[in-house]
Amino acid sequence: MPGAYGARSDGTPVTEGVIGELADEAERGYDVDEIIRRRRGGRPAMGASPASVESVRLDPELKRDLLLRAAAEGRSVSDVIRSALHQYLKAS
């Protein structure tokens, strides 16, 4: 791409003209409320504070059973693991 400084996420080239347009837009200022409205959020909160991610090793049979159970119930693997862990901890 001669005269281009890279590409935007949609693949269109970033040229001198595009840079000028972006600079003009920045000089006019941005609508912060609009930016906040369009902003994508992260994962939904699971409690009052950020959740931690834990890692466990599963043998192939346990992993297969977990995947089958999650698919049969239409739930995520993580949700099935959390539910099983809650039940286990309440039982002890």
- Chain centroid offset of residue 63 CA: 24
Average pLDDT over residues 14-31: 91
- Token pair recorded at residue 30: 């941005």
pLDDT of residue 51: 83
Structure-token match 């059973």, residue found: 65
Average pLDDT over residues 15-43: 85
The answer on pLDDT for 84 being more than 60 is yes
Q: Which of 54, 58, 77 is nearest to 67 (CA)?
A: 77
Q: Alpha carbon of 66 to those of 38, 48, 72, 92: distances in Å?
A: 36, 28, 10, 22
The answer on pLDDT for 81 being more than 70 is yes
pLDDT of residue 5: 86
Q: How does pLDDT run across 33-76, given as a tens digit for each residue? A: 888 777 767 777 777 787 888 999 999 999 999 999 999 999 99
What is Dmax (Cα atoms) for the chain?
A: 68
